[in-house]
Amino acid sequence: MAQDNIRRKILIIMALMIMAITIKTSCANQSNYKLTIFPAEADPVVIGNRIANRFLEQPHSQYGSPLRINEPRTQITYPDVCTWLGGFWFAKATNNTDLKNRLENRFQPLFTDESYLQPKANHVDNNVFGALPLELYLQTKNPKYLNMGMMYANTQWSLPAEKIKPEQKVWADQGYSWQTRIWLDDMFMITAIQAQAYRVTKDEKYINRAAREMILYLDSIQLDNGLFYHAPSAPFCWGRANGWMAVGMAELLRALPEKNAYRSLIMTAYLKMMNTLRKDQDTNGMWRQLVDDKESWEESSCSAMFTYAMIVGVKKGWLDKKKFGLVARKAWLALIQNIDENGDVKNVCEGTMLGDNRQHYINRLALTGDLHGQAPVLWCAYALIAEL
């Protein structure tokens, strides 16, 4: 009888222990789905400050590359714009006035001593610069930022006076940006500036421009599985190009009114892409240089861009919180393993033009500290803490 009582007590204790573990795991998982609990070393506020401060302690880059540090600077290039923009988003989300002021102070010489670094509004990669002064206007209401930014938004659709290529006029005549190339990279460069113009003016012509342009690109290079070729002439699912589209769609959907005629088409394309990316994620949380090629190397910039697009989708309710919350969390924890003691992101693909063979993409250098990787990691830190 005594032995039966002992057994009963042991069984009860074991049952209670199992129940406690189950409850603890369940609560942890529930928090993980919400992307709210991280180990100290992966705290988005800590990581965001490290990346933003690293950006501020370095001079303007030459297309984001640490390999081009000794080249003369002729303009602010888009990797700087993307990192700078992420810094402003992050500063606002964390109420970090000191960071915001330092980022703004870095911009002031562009009106005076560094005015020659203002990009010419003649290329899709240059016009995205306007998203930066428009963000400054949103945060400060200073009209000098509005005027500068709107010039870049408007000239992306207005044919320049100088000689242009025949195909550029064809695009313009059809109502698209004359800067259209059907390069996947464009889908952040165009949507970012036009979405910002919509946010500051509330004029739907700007967001409709971006949405209609997005549909053109979706129709041209999205595959049945939701991924994208780099361009029609480059039939390879290059990671960062797909990343530009992922964040471009996320940013556009964030700005598009719910009743916009283009919204459902873009949302369908976004969801199709996200579902395939969830399946293509590596076991350790990263994605690869060629997304659908398991023999290609793990690459940080595309991994961060996909993570950002998923965080936004989870927090906005577009994606299943359980499935994609865990994917995004796993990716974030993998990404922070690729940040060195200086605050530089490792394994970032160097700048890459179109390639006509697989080896072109496989052989690209993996750099440390390239702003193509710094920027989207900073975006992720912002998205994890912001009320989107």
pLDDT at residue 103 tops 50: yes
Q: Is the pLDDT assigned to residue 212 strictly greater than 80?
A: yes
In a domain, 366, yes or no: yes
To 10 degrees, the CA torsion angle through 218, 219, 220, 224? 80
Alpha-carbon distances, residue 122 vs 151, 177, 236 (angstroms): 11, 11, 27
Res 18 pLDDT > 80 = no
Average pLDDT over residues 141-167: 96
Grade residue 11 by pLDDT with cuts at 50, 70 and 90.
low
pLDDT at 350: 98
pLDDT band at residue 32 under the 50/70/90 scheme: low
In a domain, 267, yes or no: yes
Q: In the predicted model, is pLDDT for residue 16 greater than 70? A: no
Give dist(CA 9, CA 95) in Å, integer.
54
- Would you say residue 18 lies in a domain? no
Q: pLDDT of 224-276, one tens digit each?
A: 999 999 999 999 999 999 999 999 999 999 999 999 999 999 999 999 999 99
Using alpha carbons only, give the angle 248, 56, 195 rounded to the nearest 5 degrees: 25
Cα–Cα distances in angstroms (integers) from residue 370 to residues 45, 58, 69, 76, 296, in the given order: 21, 12, 11, 15, 19
Q: What Cα–Cα distance (Å) separates residue 100 from each residue in 80, 90, 103, 214, 251? A: 16, 9, 5, 31, 21
**What is the rounded distance in angstroms from the CA atom of residue 161 to the CA atom of residue 180?**
17
pLDDT surpassing 80 at residue 197: yes
Task: Grade residue 88 by pLDDT with cuts at 50, 70 and 90.
Answer: very high
155: its two tokens? 């000239």
| pLDDT tens, residue by residue, 40-63 | 999 999 999 999 999 999 999 999
CA distance 93 to 99: 11
Of all residues in the chain, the percent with pLDDT exceeding 90 is: 90
The Cα–Cα gap between 372 and 305 comes to 10
Residue 280 lies in a domain: yes
Would 379 be classed as within a structural domain? yes
| 5 vs 79, more confident | 79
Range of the domain at 68: 44-385
| Residue 71 located in a structural domain | yes
Q: Kindly report the average pLDDT of the chain as a whole number.
A: 93
What tens digit of pLDDT does each residue of 265-320 get? 999 999 999 999 999 999 999 999 999 999 999 999 999 999 999 999 999 999 99
pTM for the full predicted model: 0.92
What is the count of structural domains for the chain? 1
Give me the pLDDT at residue 317, please. 97
Q: What is the mean pLDDT of residues 146-157?
A: 98
Q: Is residue 27 part of a domain?
A: no
Residue type for 16, please?
L
pLDDT category at 349 given cuts 50, 70, 90 is very high
71-108 in b/e burial notation, b at 16+ Cβ within 10 A? Answer: eeeebbbbbbbbbbbbbbbbbbbbebeebbebbbebbe
Q: Which of 147, 236, 241 is nearest to 189 (CA)?
A: 241
Looking up residue 345, the CATH number of its domain turns out to be 1.50.10.10
| Structural domain includes residue 98 | yes
Helices marked H in 256-320: 263-280, 300-316
pLDDT score at 162: 86
What pLDDT sits at residue 34?
74
Radius of gyration of the chain measured on its C-alpha atoms: 23
Report d(CA 75, CA 87) in Å as an integer: 19
**Side chain identity at residue 225, one-letter code:** N
